[in-house]
A and B are shown apart, each in its own frame.
Chain A
Amino acid sequence: MTIILVLIPIALAMGLIGLIAFWWTLRSGQYEDPAGDAARILMDDDDRPG
């Protein structure tokens, strides 16, 4: 059972990483223009998101 002492922190850390990543996407305005971002991927001279 001691294995859960290792597994629990790993599981929690993975969840937290997901949450922090979500927070970062929100802060960097990645949901401001979904239609535009979908279109920009097709453009050659545009190299940054947002």
Chain B
Amino acid sequence: MNTLAAGDLSAFVGDTPDGGGRIELLVRGARCAGCLGKIERGVKAVAGVDEARLNLTTGKLTVQCADRRRADPARVIAAVQAAGYAAVLFDPKAALAQSDREGRELIMALGVAGFGAANAMMFTVPVWAGLFGQELGPGARTLMYWLSALVATPCALYAAQPFFRSAWASVRRGRANMDVPISIGVLLTLAVSFSETLQHGPHAYFDAAVTLLFLLLIGRYLDHRLRLKAQGAARDLLTIQAPVALRLDDHGGEHLTPAAQIVPGDRLAVMAGDRIPVDAVVLDGRCDLDNALISGESASVSVGPGDKVHAGALSLNGRLVLRALARSEDSTVAAIARLMEIGAQSRSAYVRLADKAAAVYVPVVHTLALAAFAGGWALGLSPREALLRAAAVLIVTCPCALGLAVPAVQITASGLLFRKGVLVKSGAALERLAEIDHVVLDKTGVITEGRPRLTGGHDDLLPLAAALARASNHPLARALAEAAGPGPTAAEAIETPGMGVEGLIDGQPSRIGRAAFVGGGAVPGDGAELWFVRGQAAPVRFTFADALRPEAAAVVRTFKARGLGVEILSGDVEAETARAAQAVGVESWRFGLTPQDKAAAVDALKARGLKVLMIGDGLNDAAALAKAHASMAPGSAVEASQNAADLVFCTGDLAAAPQAFDLARQARSRALENFGFSALYNLIAAPAAMFGLINPFIAAIAMSGSSLVVMLNALRLAWRGGTRP
């Protein structure tokens, strides 16, 4: 983040209602009261800052300044850094959008339902006691029911709002999700209970209606928390690589600007270590660009004035001045973004497990209820008695267990995965992951580490070459320095971007870099290489290759052992791809693919009826990630790929992929078991209700009992850890 030191950051100051300025930052590494106090005191001491508050849960630091013009983000960042923590600016517009309204509504509904359930129960427990022969006259019973109705009805109507809304939206689209029977059940239960109470009958279910909602809301809230946590974590990851650009004005001043505000014709500066924000042409400067995230090529490219550069490329050394050719949303990513959109559309057609269950459950239960009413009436019951039977069917076969079956399992599974460093974007993602039967891997950054490692050279010259290499940010130089371990840096080292480094070692002028820069070049080489020369000695050559991830071969073996097909789709050249495929034991591989080729390859696999898991990190993988049945990206992947992927693993360990797959399969077994249990329960409860064997007490016990069993079954996932199903 070396650009943060320079330029004008005023684009990052938001407005407060009273005319002041507000700056929002993401602070990383703060964990305890000590960190909190140190950061807040440090920031408050900055001139112009009136108030600083750090949210330790989310890591968001909000800084208020009474005078907007005195708000200086650069000084705030410096203060946080001085306290020993890393800070990144939030885009004010993006930050303001973060308020969790839905979660607050759900938790309030949960609170109301809890209050209603407990207090309605207070009046129904005496009635239940009356069912077992204790003395409770019809008059006292009716009084209890009226009091119960007084508490339960408003609570139930309030707490059921989320279900009513969802059910209505679903019915309007001509479908019936699980919320339709829930809504009908709640309304019918209340209506029948009122009619019973009016006629002084014994069967009123006010407490059941509100308890049902309480249990269901727990499941709903868990589901919401899961999504929120995943979104928050994904957002934090993206903020770290916030797309900002350094824009130059006519007088040579530098302004830090959100990349979305760049227009064609703007002059931009890109420092070593920064990504190119938009498609542009180089005006001035010379450097090596790392295109690995765009094209998957592992070798860097040297560019100079007049060359076109693509958004997302990483400048390795040297400063470039660019003229923007496109806006951020029209840059290289645009074509890929369109493909991603198509992929996302095909995915939204995916029917979730719970909705599949609802599609079976809803008609069956409603038919049964209708049969109970019609049959009872035909067999000589009074219409009132028959309607009561029908209502009992709807209440006792309540979709409680069904409503909890999937969220309870998914929250447990995602919790386990979070602890292993894997973010799950949604419950549907886990369901899709469990269904896959074919794995497609990207090469660069997935099978390999995406950065070069020293493979050949002269061991005795390595410490000397490393002394020069430490002066450079070039990936090859860094790989060399890493291989040599810690040591001194050469004196008077000067880097010529795109060529190499020159400096003094033991007083002798030395050079490291390209063959042409050093004077070597007789050896024909295909891979990455650095040449080194000291004094009058002959130049020597160091060779590099993109190292395989140590766990890659084991991961491929694990996938194969699970009976999945494994395939590599790479944008890199044939030799590199073949070498990597052979090393990890994959027979099926393709090379030199464009982003469109990759997406088409995934489509072709889908057309053969395969359900594909795509694992990729580059921009060239984003479209394929979006099109695949399920997708994963490492935490080091580009923004677009992380957005497109269902799961993001932040540990940098590819072994997370088979682990997540195993857990997803286990989660699916648990969910199916839960459905099986619910079906079994309904198979007993529905006939019992049809023959009039259910009273309000049995209904309440059966309902909470079945929910409890479903919850406990979901928790088995956590007890078993991450073993195979």
Contacts and interface: CB of A to CB of B under 8 A. Distances in A.
Interface in B76-122: 104, 107-108, 111-112, 115, 118-119, 122
B58 A39 contact: no
Interface size on A, as a range, is 20 to 34
Given A39-B32, A39-B33, A39-B36, A15 B115 contact: yes
Contact of A33 (B32, B57, B115, B122): B57
Interface in A1-37: 1, 8, 11-12, 15-16, 18-19, 22-23, 26, 31-36
Contact of A19 (B33, B36, B57, B112): B112
Given A12-B151, A39-B32, A34 B57 contact: yes
Given A15-B118, A15-B119, A39-B33, A33 B111 contact: no
Interface string B147-174: 1000100000000000000000000000
Contact of A35 (B56, B107, B111, B112): B56
B119 A39 contact: no
**Secondary structure call for the B interface:** helix
Contact of B119 (A1, A11, A40): A11
Contacts of B151: 12
A18 B115 contact: yes
Contacts of A15: 115, 118-119
B111 A22 contact: yes
B37 interface: yes
A5 to B, nearest CB: 10
A23 B108 contact: yes
A43 B33 CA distance: 7
B138 to A, nearest CB: 15
B651 interface: no
A36 B54 contact: yes
Contacts of B115: 15-16, 18-19
A26 B111 contact: yes
A33 B58 contact: yes
B675 to A, nearest CB: 33
Contacts of B56: 33, 35-36, 39
Nearest to B58: A33
A26 B104 contact: yes
B346 interface: no
A1 B57 CA distance: 52
B241 interface: no
Nearest to B41: A45
B55 A8 contact: no
A46 B108 CA distance: 29
A33 to B, nearest CB: 4
Contacts of A8: 147
A19 B108 CA distance: 9
A12 B111 contact: no
Given A36-B57, A39-B32, 7 more contacts: A1-B140, A15-B119, A19-B111, A26-B107, A36-B54, A36-B56, A42-B33
Q: Which 6 A-B pairs give the minimum distances between C-beta atoms?
A: A36-B56, A39-B33, A42-B33, A35-B56, A33-B55, A19-B115
14 contacts: A8-B147, A11-B119, A15-B115, A19-B115, A32-B55, A32-B57, A34-B57, A36-B55, A36-B56, A39-B56, A40-B36, A41-B33, A43-B37, A46-B37
